[in-house]
Chains A and B, each alone.
Chain A
Amino acid sequence: MLSYLIRRLALAVVVLFGLLVATFFMIHLVPGDPVRIVLAGRANPAQIARVRHELALDRPMWDQFTLYISRTLQGHFGTSFTLDAPVGEIIGQRVGPSAALIGYGMLLSLLLGVPLAIVAALRPNGWLDNAIRVGTALTFAMPSFWLGLMLALIFGLELRWFPVAGYSGGIGGILRTLTLPALALGLALTTVVVRTLRSSLLEVLQSEYIEAARSRGLSELRVVGKHALRNSFMNTLTILSVNIGFLIGGTVVLEQVFQIPGVGSLLVEAVEKRDYQLVQALALLAGAAVVLASLAADIVQALLDPRVRLAGR
């Protein structure tokens, strides 16, 4: 168990370090001088030199790199060129709505996906299974922002059930403002949940303990919904953790559709203003979120499932 955790942790550290290296070089791939591009026309050479010094761009590459690593590890992400505030603070103010949107989207994908997968697995290749397959294939092919617009058109503009833009906090506020974007985000993930969980359920249904449950006379719904589902829980967890990156990408676009003040819309603003410092920090944050989520999922899986932690022996 311990050796599995250490190996898994070491892998995460290596990938996190890779992310640091990649984001460090990102800013150095900007053709020309990033400071001059951003401050062009707004600052005199002396001010540009001062900003360059603050960012340590006037030092050798290796010094810059070690400085970047140590600053980042201490939680200092630098100062935004354009907003004139610490990057960490700016991001901190906007991370809430995005996290709520991702969490809500995941929840909806499970609420929709798990029952659909059970129904599909009860009668594989039956008409319901086929209908579900066609339906999920359709939602998967939809651009999430387009689906969001369609939901806004139907449930926002026509039926007036939900507002089509804005964000407010609290459970009530989230339910009101984030339901449509979370649905648009969750529906694409629902496809993945249904597909993976269905095939995992069908595989589990071949095993002997399911045969035993059936021979005890339990109803098929109970066999699939309780006994088989419990065993497929791990797969669902893995699907969710693998798709964190996909969800983060989806929020970037959906926050724009529904005008939610989260980190996704912050990223788009930063790109438009060419605020490299902010883009760099956001890219690092997004990558780190993915690495940590999959680490957490693997640890939970190892704690709950002895087959995983003993596999490497």
Chain B
Amino acid sequence: MSAVDALGQQPPPVAETVEPRRRASGLRALPLQAKIGAGILAVLFLAGVLAPLIAPYGQNELNFAHVFNSPSPSHLMGTDGAGRDVFSRTLYALRLDLAIVVLVTFVPLPIGVLIGAMAGYFGGAFDAIISRITDTMIAFPFVVLVIAVISIVGPGVKGVLIGVPIVAWALYARLARSEMLVLREQPFMLATTALGYSRRRTILRHAVPNLMRSSLIYSTLDMVVNLLLLAGLAYLGLGAQPPNAELGSIIADGQSTLLTAWWVATLPGLVVVLFGVGAGLLGDGLSDGQLRGRL
């Protein structure tokens, strides 16, 4: 589900002068808010990767002596109706969700950039066909299309892994295409023609590295969109099947006991919010940094 600031209608302005690569590299060159955002994401990813080591309980460890315990030092996020530790479940859910998010964000990204770069570079009929296909993909409400794919392959992680990339490449393709239209007129791109480089070398070695940047910045937003989508699908029962936990399914479990045990539905949701804020800070910081480097 992509609430995009009129993406595609107004593609972000492209650098008039293309920077040499690896100029302002390294963490120190990042603005403060990007560092904070990167820090938040690093903590969350680390928590997910290390979940089996740091989770105090197993994700499906039942304990009927401690049902619906409110948050306490021994159960940071309380326990649910089966006495399972919500904090441990959230860590395992985060592990699964982040792994899926990384896959469904960064697998379609290079594919979309490459297709968009070719469409922008070659123009003509190829461009027209690709543009109409991306228009069609983007016209489908994202959630509906992924749910339609899930109806075909069946509920579970597989449906998400197939459904999201089918659509997600189209946004990157549109972004890369519109940048390529400008980039292709740049002197260094014209020079590749003069030097007799093959079109393959021109696109892969000279254009794509420049197009990657805005797509990578957009990918921070895309990760949030994908995590929200994933949580929504898991909430609907279309994501990972029980007993595996996803953030959305933990929240769904807590819905019926919202009044008596508010923590089950509330606290895992805050983890999603934290991820969104971290990615947002990183994305904003990166695009500011890009502007600053350019002016």
Q: Which residues of A contact B (CB under 8 A)?
A: 11, 14-15, 18-19, 22, 26, 29-31, 137-138, 140-146, 149-150, 152-153, 157-158, 188-189, 191-192, 195-196, 235, 238-239, 242-246, 248-250, 252-253, 256-257, 267-268, 270-272, 274, 276, 279-280, 282-283, 286-287, 290-291, 294
Contact = CB atoms under 8 A, between A and B. Distances in A.
17 contacts: A15-B136, A18-B132, A31-B152, A140-B224, A141-B276, A144-B228, A158-B259, A191-B3, A244-B141, A245-B141, A246-B4, A249-B1, A249-B141, A256-B236, A271-B155, A287-B140, A287-B144
Given A157-B259, A249-B141, A287-B141, A146 B9 contact: no
Interface in B149-166: 150-153, 155
B135 A15 contact: yes
A26 B136 contact: no
B195 to A, nearest CB: 36
Interface of B: 1-9, 132-133, 135-136, 138-145, 147-148, 150-153, 155, 224, 228-229, 231-232, 235-238, 248, 251, 255, 258-259, 262, 265-266, 269, 272-277, 279-280
B150 A22 contact: no
Nearest to B128: A14
A137 B147 contact: no
Contacts of A249: 1, 141-144, 229, 232
B3 A140 contact: yes
Question: Does more than half of chain B's interface fall in helix, strand or loop, or is it mixed?
Answer: helix
B147 A140 contact: no
Nearest to B1: A249
Contacts of A243: 3-4
Contact of A242 (B4, B135, B144): B4
B141 A141 contact: no
B182 to A, nearest CB: 18
Q: List the 9 shortest-distance A-B pairs measured between CB atoms, nearest first.
A: A141-B276, A249-B143, A18-B136, A146-B269, A245-B141, A249-B1, A248-B141, A271-B151, A286-B144
Nearest to B262: A153
B141 to A, nearest CB: 4
A238 B231 contact: no
B204 to A, nearest CB: 29
Given A140-B276, A152-B258, A286-B141, A246 B152 contact: no
Contact of B6 (A238, A256, A267): A238
Contacts of B277: 137-138, 141
B142 A245 contact: yes
Contact of A142 (B132, B262, B273): B273
B269 A150 contact: yes
Contact of A239 (B6, B152, B265, B276): B6
A270 B151 contact: yes
Contact of B235 (A137, A145, A242): A145
